Structure 1
Amino acid sequence: MKIVTVLGARPQFIKAGPVSREIRKNHEEIIIHTGQHYDANMSDIFFTELNIPKPDYHLNVGSGSHGVQTANMLIQIEEILLKETPDYVLVYGDTNSTLAGSLAASKLHIPIVHVEAGLRSFNKKMPEEVNRILTDHVSSFLFCPSDTSVNNLKEENITKHVYNVGDVMYDAVRYNQDIADKSTILTDIGAASKDYYLITVHRAENTEDRERIENILAAFSQIEGTKVWPIHPRTKNKLLSYGIDLDKIPGLKVIEPIGYLDMLCLEKNAKKILTDSGGVQKEAYFVQTPCVTLRDETEWIETLKDNANVLVGANTEKILEAVQLTCDSDYPPIFGSGNTSEQIVKILSDNQ
């Protein structure tokens, strides 16, 4: 069995770690890195830390509009697929790399494997929502992280080769937790366990809307205590263009993007996490740290029970209220048992 895996962004590198290990036990894998995330702190470090094999192809697409970025990927991926003639093309999640890989494979009649299928925010203004819907509708095998995802696909009349296998990100957390516990990131930044808030903000719906980002920052200014923010390069540049000075926010520690293991350590030891990232929402759940989601909706509705995750949008008052909420520290296991990768590879092998 020969699989071409298409990767391009931080969350996909994390998901690929356990799946690639499982594929390569008995099968062949070719990795295409689109270069959607091209900063070394957003890309290279993840391949090193997670022991993901070096990509066989690096497309170096870089930044650009959705159309330009996706088109450039599509052209190059098609050429590679014609050369490699794989049995499957495997894509993860909902980025432009996901869509480009799935479109290229569908035109060449190569079966598409979508890991993390069935997610829906029901907001088509999000480019990720469009990407995931289109990918699901051309995929041959749809591996869902939860019952909710399976039901979402059923509502769209997608029922063939749909499997609830759990979440590969849970596999990654379980595999890497002990290593992450040895991280020195807390000492490096001068933070103490359970004595800081962890922040991530990068989605266009927040960063491209000045009113929204200013409302979010107004809340950060009023939250007492230490706040740690590994800032995304795009967010940093956007704030600079607005003339916003983060140094004026009391207690805020802005740091450069960090690797997966350091991030996992920060997530586990945070008092609470404030984020607009889907991946960070899940990781917060896995390490049982309360989460405040700076979005108007979430694909991960399972996490909203008992205030484990609270949706607040960009409303200053709602953010401040959510920070004060308490929640049960014993979250039920709703994303599988940590053997998702094995299930995926076995199903694909059995269907050869």
Structure 2
Amino acid sequence: MKILTILGTRPEIIRLSRIIPALDQLCEHVVAHTGQNFDRKLSDIFFEELGVRKPDFFFNTRVDTLATQVGQILAETEQLLERVRPDRLLVLGDTNSALSAFIAKRMGIPVYHMEAGNRCYDDRVPEEVNRRVIDHCSDVLMPYTERSRVNLVREGIEGTRILVTGNPIYEVMQHYRPQVDASGVHRQLGVQAGEYVLATFHRAENVDIPDRLRAIVEGLRRTAATLGMPVVCSVHPRTRIRLQQYYLEPTDAKLILLEPLGFFDFVALEKDAHVVITDSGTVQEECCILGVPGITIRDTTERPETVECGSNALAGVDPANLVRLAKAGASARGWWTVPREYLEERVSATVVNIVLGYNNRAPTPIWTRTGQTAESAEQPAIQGAGGKAERAGKAGGTRGENPQEIAR
């Protein structure tokens, strides 16, 4: 069986970091990176840090406009599907990269969607539209929680196509715990455990609107002054560009702006922070698991279970509200009960078993319906430069080495 996994953002790489090697061992597994958030060089760094092999294909679709980026992702996905001819497509989350599910659906390729059913019910959030489109293009849906399963059922999706897997982030954090514990980031920054605030924000609805971005920067400045401790900011490239564009780069010495941190250093800072201020869905989950109070600078969240259990508070972007919650946050540290779906230890095995073994409602790919199997449709294998098998023609590429650029 041949499985194609398409991804394009750092959270996808992190969440799939235990699933990719498992699929590599059990089937013919092809990985494609859309380049949605960063170029190939930065992509390679993320894969190397997590010890995950490099993608087989790289789309290089990092562009400024939504229409151009989505159009390129869909066009190059179609080319790749024709070349690779997978039996199934695996996507995760609500990114533009996961919109590749649309093309696969139109081509009759079974789509398996991790992180299905997340909803914030706020269409001002760009990802909310993506979530509904991807879910309704998917054949087998793998939500993390029972709440997300119910969301899907309410939208008319048959229960036999929905399988709750649990959240993969706990398994990922447990696997990389030795590397996190070995991080020297506290010493490098000169900060002590519990004596700093960690912040990260990148969402379009926050950083692309000058008034909201200005309010966030002011809220961080007031938080640092009120708590008397530095605010360490891991700054996404998109955020840094907007800070410069809108002349909002902070000059306060207590606001420490860093280049994007690696996963190990970020989690090391996260687990020892006084509080964490974020608009990231993944960080909301991590704080809940780590017992660290989280403050979400959004009006809604697709992870409402974090608010209900008490690990997370919605602040919007009002500076006074942010300061109030930051002052109150530390007193609530770790007293909540983590949702059980957040503590699943073998999510990777569950997902792999579903992708390889569950096809209750999955269609047959178009190339096998016409009487030609995926295997027979491929070109003969030839020996590549290190003795590894490569496919003749443009579909080639040694696994983990020299990912192929999709020709445009």
Q: Which bracket does the TM-score occupy, shorter chain normalised?
A: over 0.9
Describe the SS at the equivalent of 1:267.
helix
Give 1:40 shift: 6.7
Structure 1 runs not aligned, ≥5 long: none
Give 1:336 shift: 4.2
1:321 to 320, 324, 331: 324
The answer on 1:235 being equivalent to 2:239 is: yes
Equivalent runs, 1:144-223 vs 2, <5 Å: 144-158=143-157, 159-223=159-223
**How many angstroms apart in 1 are the aligned matches of 2:181 and 2:39?**
25
**How many angstroms apart in 1 are the aligned matches of 2:74 and 2:137?**
15
**How many angstroms apart in 2 are the aligned matches of 1:110 and 1:306?**
39
Equivalent runs, 1:336-347 vs 2, <5 Å: 336-347=343-354
What TM-score results when the alignment is normalised by the length of structure 1? Answer: 0.96
Describe the SS at the equivalent of 1:142.
strand
Partner of residue 338, structure 2 = 332
Partner of residue 269, structure 1 = 272
2:291 to 284, 288, 292: 288
Give 1:160 shift: 3.0
Change (3 A) 1:40 1:195: farther
- The CA deviation string for residues 332-352 of structure 1, in whole angstroms up to 9 with x for no partner, is 243242211101111222225
- The CA deviation string for residues 255-304 of structure 1, in whole angstroms up to 9 with x for no partner, is 11111111111111111100011111111112221100000000010111
Residue type of the alignment partner of 1:343: T
Describe the SS at the equivalent of 2:51.
coil
Partner of residue 135, structure 2 = 136
Describe the SS at the equivalent of 2:25.
coil
Contact 1:41 1:258 in 2 (8 A): no
Higher-Rg member (1/2): 2
Say what the alpha-carbon RMSD is for the aligned residues: 1.5
Residue type of the alignment partner of 1:341: S
Which deviates further from its counterpart, 289-298 or 34-43?
A: 34-43
Equivalent runs, 1:21-170 vs 2, <5 Å: 21-39=21-39, 43-99=43-99, 101-158=100-157, 159-170=159-170
Aligned length: 350
Give 1:42 shift: 5.6
Contact 1:185 1:265 in 2 (8 A): yes
- The CA deviation string for residues 307-342 of structure 1, in whole angstroms up to 9 with x for no partner, is 310001111111111112231514324324221110
**How many angstroms apart in 1 are the aligned matches of 2:354 and 2:40?**
34
- The CA deviation string for residues 155-205 of structure 1, in whole angstroms up to 9 with x for no partner, is 101123201110112221121122211011111111111111000011111
Residue type of the alignment partner of 1:153: L
Which deviates further from its counterpart, 78-87 or 41-50?
A: 41-50
Partner of residue 348, structure 1 = 355
Partner of residue 261, structure 2 = 258
Partner of residue 374, structure 2 = none
- The CA deviation string for residues 217-252 of structure 1, in whole angstroms up to 9 with x for no partner, is 2121112311100111111111111112312x3411
**How many angstroms apart in 1 are the aligned matches of 2:69 and 2:4?**
20
Q: Using the aligned pairs only, state the percent identity.
A: 33
Give 1:39 shift: 4.7
**How many angstroms apart in 2 are the aligned matches of 1:226 and 1:194?**
11
Residue type of the alignment partner of 1:112: V
Change (3 A) 1:157 1:306: closer
**How many angstroms apart in 2 are the aligned matches of 1:122 and 1:3?**
32
**How many angstroms apart in 2 are the aligned matches of 1:132 and 1:177?**
31
Which deviates further from its counterpart, 34-43 or 111-120?
A: 34-43
Structure 2 runs not aligned, ≥5 long: 360-408
What TM-score results when the alignment is normalised by the length of structure 2? Answer: 0.83
